[in-house]
Amino acid sequence: MAAKTLTVDGRQISAENHTTILQAATDAGIKIPTLCHLDGVYDVGACRLCLVEVKGTTKLLSACTTRVYEGMEVTTNSERLQKYRRMTLELLFAERNHTCAVCVANGHCELQALACELGMDHVRYDYCSPKWGVDATHPFLGMDHNRCILCTRCVRTCWHIEGAGTKNVAGRGTKSYIINDLNEPWGESETCTSCAKCVLSCPTGALFHKGATVGEMERDRSKLAFIVNAREKKQWVV
Amino acid sequence: MTLLDLEQIKDKEIAGRKKIVLRCCLAAGCTSSDSKNVKARLDQAVVAAGLQDQVEVRGVGCMKLCCDGPLVQVDPANTLYIKVTADSTPSIIAALSGGKSDLPQGDPQAAFFTKQLSIVLANSGVIDPERIEDYIAADGYLALHHALTEMEPRGVVEAVVQSGLRGRGGAGFPTGLKWSTVAKSPGAKKYIICNADEGDPGAFMDRSVLESDPHAVLEGMAVAAYAVGADQGFIYVRAEYPLAISRLQIAIKQAKRIGLLGMGVFESPFNFNIDLRIGAGAFVCGEETALMASVEGKRGTPRPRPPFPAERGLWDCPTLINNVETFANIPAIMRRGAEWFASIGTEKSKGTKVFALAGKIKNTGLIEVPMGTPLRTIVEEMGGGAPGGGAIKAVQTGGPSGGCIPAQHLDTPVDYESLTKLGSIMGSGGMIVMDETTNMVDVARYFLEFCMDESCGKCVPCRTGTVQMHHFLEKILAKKATARDLTHLEELCDMVRNTSLCGLGQNAPNPVQSTLRFFRHEYDALLQPELHSGGNGVAQPQPLAGAK
């Protein structure tokens, strides 16, 4: 397979043809923040945290969906990108009700971790404080829409790893929300296989195992990548 | 169907014409003020007067001066009756035989009409959109015949390149370049899509074209399909346009019946079918990648480009997407030549542009003017200025993604580059005029609210950034905001523009940024002095020392 050489943050790296900037940078040990990316499912470029600057274009490109090319020059961490990333996080925190102190994912939350990592120490926008409900109709899984950031990782996992096609997005704009089947209570879904892979995929405390209390919701996401790897490459490596 | 058949239809149609033609507008605007009934009563009155051998009452598409509808024009006398009611119809018929009529009349020699140059709207208000014979009599489908029998696909693409035509959907991408990219893209299956999901508030150009001359769009699509090697087309039209949908259905059926669509068009090996897809009311589906997702039956959300539709579009096949008006230009270009088309307009923007004039202006309606026409000509001469003679404050172009152009820039020629330079865009052709009573901050809030409601919710900046921008604007309008809020708002505009996934988010800050650029004093006048504690006496949290 033809290899491409590119420069990321001043470092020359090489990557296989058709890989994304995100993959190439990760392989070279350069970290680009992400939220909607999940190893094992296709990328949608929705969270805009992985935006990078590429020489030759004035547009910012999402690293997870942009393929590398020969001689590409990428900047992943400029002042401007850092500022935009902090603002993106601020917007997410203001959108729904992210109260870490009472969240099952406290300490194991990607949103929280990114806020710490990127220095987002306060929110300058009005909290929208919407009234979203909790779907606790499933026997052992639950969904708290108040903590959802609409990354659609659960939707993609449900369709493309489990193949059940239970989860989907309904509504529009900030009123979008995750639904089961044709907007039915989770517990009444006829297609859900209760595999709980969606819970594994969730970056925040929105999807959880019932019975988990504050800070208990830990997830082993490598399980998802393991399944995909085994299926696609026939490699049963733990 | 051969050329001979086509000419026979044309000759028969022209031979059958009557001495006097009463054209009655049956487009959506006039229909909403009872023009269907006017047409029926005119028919009755003609029969009652025993004139049916001499007079034809023809239901036609948009006659452009929408504010004065229903419109009835008499040929060849060139009399234009305005605001016609069902009761005034006998008087119109009486006037045909020399009687005097004191019905209100418009002036066909007014600047509103004489300054127009009709290419896209040449048949609009002239032919009956529900009869293919009428379109053929106006040289319809000759362009398709010419392309199929006398030109190579490459030659057709070359002609479009030479014409300098640019996309009329808003961005102004060179149409020829797009066609040649699709033509060159490898793949046995290719698609053509006509984007008729016109959703800008106050814009009705595409609707009028579809209602008035649907065959021109079908013919343009067929020429495009031949040029790029596609055999299937889709027209994505919004459900809010029932009349356009029904006329398209009629047009497609008629064209199929006589062999101008379907298998072996003009007895050549070229096959081309067109199907309709009806939009379900999402503005974002006018964005090409969201539109394609919707045609595929998925949720209508955009995806990052590249890959562009020209390489990987509908079901991953190379796909050509053009706007209604772009396709409607094609037959004229093929018939009259690329050079003729390129001779109209400015250096970089060729041809004409259709605008929907709306807002605080005397003559609202549809106009088609050569590119490079100054805004002042459009607004003051053709539009007749603000009703009541008030001063015009600004002109909003490009819909919710566009911007406001202040009165001092009215001499700007209307072309893609000049409008972009002023922080607005050509857009699809909505033109909303505002007079001195308009509050510009409120205008910005209105358009931003539209974008906020229409955001699909996929990417964070557009989904929630617009909500916060809207909060700030509400706060400013309620006189509760300070200079710091305005700074935050401007910062958000910059962020949403640069980080959003698709054009909807990237252009959503335009109305705010363009009003800030030219009408900043209106924002400043609403700001409150900075307080160190909130209005309720509670100290506001200050950022931590050292925080960025």
pLDDT tens for each residue of B433-482: 999 999 999 999 999 999 999 999 999 999 999 999 999 999 999 999 99
B116 interfacial to chain A (CB closer than 8 Å) = no
CATH code of B352-431, in short, is 3.10.20.600
- Domain B133-342 class? alpha beta
B455 interfacial to chain A (CB closer than 8 Å) = yes
Q: Would you say residue A238 lies in a domain?
A: no
Give A61→chain B minimum CA distance, Å: 8
Helix axes B214-228, B142-150, angle to 10 degrees: 10
pLDDT for B243 equals 97
Q: Would you say residue A57 lies in a domain?
A: yes
Look at chain A and report how many structural domains it folds into.
2
Which residues contact residue B107 at a Cβ distance below 8 angstroms, ignoring those fewer than 6 apart? B80
B463 interfacial to chain A (CB closer than 8 Å) = yes
Looking at the fold, whether A157 and A53 belong to one and the same domain comes out as no
**Can you tell me the distance from the alpha carbon of B150 to that of B129, in angstroms, rounded to the nearest whole number?**
28
Q: Does the pLDDT at position A74 exceed 60?
A: yes
Looking at the fold, whether A90 and A70 belong to one and the same domain comes out as no
Looking at the fold, whether A111 and A144 belong to one and the same domain comes out as yes
Contacts of A88 in chain B (CB under 8 A): 460-461, 495, 499
pLDDT for A190 equals 96
- Domain B19-109 class? alpha beta
pLDDT for B121 equals 97
pLDDT for A59 equals 95
Looking at the fold, whether A88 and A151 belong to one and the same domain comes out as yes
Of B458, B498, B547, the CB nearest to A60: B498
Burial profile B361-376: b = 16 or more Cβ within 10 angstroms, e = fewer: bbbbbbbbbbbbbbbb
pLDDT for B537 equals 47
Looking at the fold, whether A101 and A68 belong to one and the same domain comes out as no
- Across B4-13, average pLDDT: 96
Using one digit for the tens of pLDDT, what is the confidence trace for B75-105? 998 999 999 999 999 999 999 987 777 899 9
Q: Does the pLDDT at position B542 exceed 80?
A: no
Q: Would you say residue A73 lies in a domain?
A: yes
**CATH number, residue A64:** 3.10.20.740
φ, ψ of residue A128 in degrees (nearest 5): -75, -25
> Which structural domain, as residue segments, surrounds residue A8?
3-77
Looking at the fold, whether A19 and A102 belong to one and the same domain comes out as no
Give me the percent of chain A exceeding a pLDDT of 70. Answer: 99
**Can you tell me the distance from the alpha carbon of B432 to that of B58, in angstroms, rounded to the nearest whole number?**
31
Which residues contact residue B298 at a Cβ distance below 8 angstroms, ignoring those fewer than 6 apart? none
pLDDT for A79 equals 97
Looking at the fold, whether A143 and A36 belong to one and the same domain comes out as no
Final residue of a structural domain among A77, A108, A142: A77
Final residue of a structural domain among A77, A107, A131: A77
Contacts of A48 in chain B (CB under 8 A): 459-461, 499-501
Q: What is the DSSP string of B69-121?
A: -S-EEEETTTEEE-S--GGGHHHHHHHHTT----S-EE-TTSHHHHT---STT
**Residue B53 amino acid letter:** D
Give A237→chain B minimum CA distance, Å: 33
B546 interfacial to chain A (CB closer than 8 Å) = no
**CATH number, residue A182:** 3.30.70.20
Q: Would you say residue A146 lies in a domain?
A: yes
- A interface toward B at CB cutoff 8 Å? 44-48, 51, 60-62, 65-66, 82-84, 86-88, 91-92, 94-95, 119, 121-122, 124-126, 128, 149-150, 152, 168-169, 171-176
Final residue of a structural domain among A33, A62, A77: A77
Average pLDDT, chain B: 94
Residue B418 CA to its chain's centroid (Å): 19
Of B299, B454, B547, the CB nearest to A121: B547
pLDDT confidence band for B547 (50 / 70 / 90):
very low
pLDDT for B100 equals 73
Residue B102 corresponds to which tokens in the numbers above?
């004191």
Using one digit for the tens of pLDDT, what is the confidence trace for B155-204? 999 999 999 999 998 889 999 999 999 999 999 999 999 999 999 988 99
Nearest CA in chain A to B475: A126
Looking at the fold, whether A152 and A88 belong to one and the same domain comes out as yes
Nearest to A72 by CA among A139, A151, A12: A12
Q: Does the pLDDT at position B512 exceed 70?
A: yes
User: Which residues are registered as beta bridge partners of A61?
Assistant: A52
For testing the chain B interface, which of A80, A87, A97, A176 should be mutated: the one with the most B CBs within 10 Å? A87
- Number of inter-chain CB pairs under 8 A, A vs B: 105
Nearest CA in chain B to A177: B457
Using one digit for the tens of pLDDT, what is the confidence trace for A218-233? 999 989 989 998 999 8
Looking at the fold, whether A127 and A214 belong to one and the same domain comes out as yes
Nearest to B496 by CA among B483, B482, B511, B485: B511
Domain ranges in chain B are 19-109, 133-342, 352-431, 441-524
Looking at the fold, whether A66 and A105 belong to one and the same domain comes out as no
Contacts of A176 in chain B (CB under 8 A): 456-457, 463
Q: Does the pLDDT at position B535 exceed 70?
A: no
Of B453, B457, B547, the CB nearest to A150: B457
Using one digit for the tens of pLDDT, what is the confidence trace for A21-64? 999 999 999 999 999 999 999 999 999 999 999 999 999 999 99
Q: Taking a C-beta distance cutoff of 8 angstroms, is the pair B515, B490 a contact?
A: no
pLDDT for A185 equals 98
| DSSP conformational letter for B39 | H
B479 three-class SS: coil
Residues 475-514 of B with CB under 8 A from A: 488, 491-492, 495, 498-501
The model scores a pTM over 0.90: yes
Contact A45 B299 (CB under 8 A): no
CA distances from B92 to A80, A216, A218, B59, B357 (A): 68, 83, 81, 16, 29
Which residues contact residue B260 at a Cβ distance below 8 angstroms, ignoring those fewer than 6 apart? B1, B132, B141, B144, B218, B219, B222, B266
Give B542→chain A minimum CA distance, Å: 9
Using one digit for the tens of pLDDT, what is the confidence trace for B322-349? 999 999 999 999 999 999 999 999 999 9
Contacts of B452 in chain A (CB under 8 A): 173-174
Looking at the fold, whether A11 and A95 belong to one and the same domain comes out as no
pLDDT for B423 equals 85
Contact B460 A60 (CB under 8 A): no
Nearest CA in chain B to A172: B456
B305 interfacial to chain A (CB closer than 8 Å) = no
- Across B269-289, average pLDDT: 96
Nearest to B168 by CA among B406, B427, B345, B349: B427
Contact A175 B457 (CB under 8 A): yes
Contact B304 A91 (CB under 8 A): no
Decide if domain B441-524 falls under CATH 1.20.1440.230.
yes
pLDDT for A144 equals 97
Of A84, A150, A168, the CB nearest to B499: A84
**Can you tell me the distance from the alpha carbon of A35 to that of A154, in angstroms, rounded to the nearest whole number?**
12
For testing the chain B interface, which of A47, A124, A169, A183 should be mutated: the one with the most B CBs within 10 Å? A124
pLDDT confidence band for B289 (50 / 70 / 90):
very high
pLDDT confidence band for A236 (50 / 70 / 90):
confident
Looking at the fold, whether A49 and A164 belong to one and the same domain comes out as no
